[in-house]
Structure 1
Amino acid sequence: MIIQNWLERIQKAQKIGIIQDGKRKIHYTFGDGLEMVEEYNMETDVLVKRAWRNRTKLKGDGAQWDVEIGDPEASLVSLESIGIKESSSAPFVTRRITKSALEWRIRNLPYPLNTYAVTAEPEKKCITVRTSNKKYYKTLSVPDLERVGLLPEQNRIQYSHKYNTLIITYQKPPEVVQLEKKILEEVKKVKTTKEGDPDCKPS
């Protein structure tokens, strides 16, 4: 069962936790060389950041983090270090999670709301965003659904537009809510220290 596979992977991972800046931060090390970091809001228990890296493929600690949830950090961006800088006006996507929905924000899109079509593509396991003026096209993966073996459904999608940002929300299916609950239970089992305390041992 896919849900059980993801849950078991979390359970088997080596985990270190710390409480810092009002967030519960967990570092996971998996047996295949992947690392994952998560940050949870201590008041709401909502996941505010998740990032991945594979230290076995790149240069150890120099491997770059791939942000799945939350805003990218300046320290994670490597393009500028080799002289390439993306235009500050180019559209870019960030992902967030609320208690009831998955959310994408695509910034620097100035077109009115009726320009956009946001479509569930179950055969491709993704959501696509396109504009009628053919100025923008984007494919959005939905790993949260893949982890519970579900395909995206059109009737769960809503979107709005303000401040040059297209906001897409996807109502969580019960299976995603249940998995998040189980993962949170595992997260809360991790022995954590508060900032300034001695380092804790991996769980």
Structure 2
Amino acid sequence: MAAQSWRDSLRAARKTAVVQDGKRKVHYLFPDGSEMVEEYGVSNDQLSVRKWRRKSQLGSQGQWQVEVGEISSGTFGSLEQQLIQENSSNPIFTRKDTKTSFQWRIRNLPYPRKVYSATIDPEQRCCIVRTSNKKYYKRFNIPDMDRCGLPLDSSALSFTHANNTLIITYQKPREILQQEQEVLQELKKVKVAEDGDVECKTQ
């Protein structure tokens, strides 16, 4: 999907906005029935959450899939919560962006920095994190880059390690930065409901 068609898709979506707890929460309903929810800081316009819910082939609503932000405990049932607690020492992979970069944190990785590597697979359009001691391996894509059809650039990828956490950073290209500014301007045209979810339309 090219950048322009993604912007057009966002404009075509039915949008609902509400401000709560210092965050602007926006719900998108797309023509195909899929939904996206985003949360932005009111003071800094920083995206903190993006999650998707798509309909199954049979037309039923699927589960929410988190793209950006932490998975809240309310997302899971009690049995799953217990399983997560039991495995709390396992690596935890989350995405938390900054204004200028896509960023991922992998917690509970105690190995020294020298064992890690972060590379790009241009054909599979994904990032690969691995350790030379073969204790950890992870492949993940960057949906924002995929939606805009932009190639991945190895020089934009870097990582640091501290406090048992590996932080992977991919610098956003100019096209993404420009698009995000345009999307923010569109969102600021959406009338915000002061309380509760009220359907709103863009101007």
Normalised by the length of structure 2, the TM-score is: 0.91
Partner of 1:97: 97
Partner of 1:134: 134
Residue type of the alignment partner of 1:77: F
1:107 matched to 2:107: yes
Partner of 2:51: 51
Residue type of the alignment partner of 2:73: A
Alignment of 1:113-124 (within 5 A): 113-124=113-124
Tell me the CA shift for residue 18 of structure 1.
Answer: 0.2
- Which is worse superposed, 73-82 or 161-170? 73-82
* 1:127-167 deviations in Å (ceiling 9; x for gaps): 00000000110001111111222122111111111111100
> Secondary structure at 2:123's aligned position in 1?
helix
Q: 1:79 to 1:199 in 2, by over 3 A?
A: closer
Identity among equivalent positions (%) equals 46
Tell me the CA shift for residue 56 of structure 1.
Answer: 4.7
Q: Is the 8 A contact 2:73 2:81 kept in 1?
A: no
* 1:91-115 deviations in Å (ceiling 9; x for gaps): 1211011111110001111111111
Residue type of the alignment partner of 2:66: V
Alpha-carbon separation, structure 1, partners of 2:18 and 2:27: 9
Q: Is the 8 A contact 1:64 1:78 kept in 2?
A: no
Number of residues paired by the alignment? 200
Unaligned runs of 5+ in 1: none
Alpha-carbon separation, structure 1, partners of 2:149 and 2:60: 32
Alpha-carbon separation, structure 2, partners of 1:173 and 1:200: 35
Partner of 1:30: 30
Q: 1:129 to 1:194 in 2, by over 3 A?
A: same
Q: 1:55 to 1:75 in 2, by over 3 A?
A: farther
* 1:33-64 deviations in Å (ceiling 9; x for gaps): 21110000111111110001124558956x42
Alpha-carbon separation, structure 1, partners of 2:160 and 2:110: 12
Unaligned runs of 5+ in 2: none
Partner of 2:200: 202
Normalised by the length of structure 1, the TM-score is: 0.91
